[in-house]
Amino acid sequence: MATKKPEIPTLATLVEKLKSGELYEEVKKEVLNSQLWTSSFRHGYADTPRNRVLQIVSNVWLHLHPVKIHRHALRIKFTWCMGGITFLLFLSTVVTGVILMFYYRPVGEYAYFDMKYLQYDVPFGMLMRNMHRWAAHAMVITVWLHMFRVFLTGSYKPPREFNWVIGVFLVTFTLLLSFTGYLLPWDQLAMWAVTVGTNMARATPFLGHEGPFQEYVFGVSPRYDARSMLIGGSIVGPPALLRFYVLHCIFIPLVAGALMIVHFWRIRKDGGISGPL
Partner 1 sequence: MAETITNENKKSVASTSKKSPKKDESKDTIWSRRDFFSIAGWAGFMATLGLSSLFFTRLLFPRVLFEPSPIFKAGKPSDYTVGEVSTKFIKSQRVWIVRDLEGIYVVFGLCTHLGCTPRWLNTEKKYKCPCHGSGFTKDGTNFEGPAPRPLEHLKITLDPDGIIEIDKSKKFLYEKGEWGKPGSKLLI
Residues engaged in binding partner 1 (CB under 8 A): 196, 199, 222-224, 228-229, 232-235, 237-239
For the chain, counts of helices (H) and of strands (E): 13, 0
Q: Which is nearer to partner 1, 66 or 238 (CB)?
A: 238
CB of 205 to partner 1, least distance (A): 17
* Helix (H/G/I), strand (E/B), else coil: 126: helix
**DSSP SS3 for 158:** coil
C-alpha 269, offset from chain centre? 21
C-beta of 222: minimal distance to partner 1 in Å? 6
Q: Toward partner 1, which CB reaches closer, 42 or 223?
A: 223
* Cβ closest to partner 1, residue 235 vs residue 261: 235
Nearer Cβ to partner 1, position 233 or 275?
Answer: 233
- Shortest CB 238 distance to partner 1, Å: 8
68-82 burial code (b ≥16 CB/10 A, e <16): eeeeeeeeeebbbeb
Residues 247 and 239 sit within 8 Å (Cβ to Cβ): no
Minimum Å gap between C-beta 250 and partner 1 is: 15
> What is d(CA 27, CA 235) in angstroms, rounded to the nearest whole number?
68
d(CA 69, CA 207): 47
Written as one letter, the residue type at 37 is W
The end-to-end CA distance of the chain, in Å, is 78
CB of 51 to partner 1, least distance (A): 45
Indicate the residue among 189 and 196 with the shorter CB distance to partner 1.
196
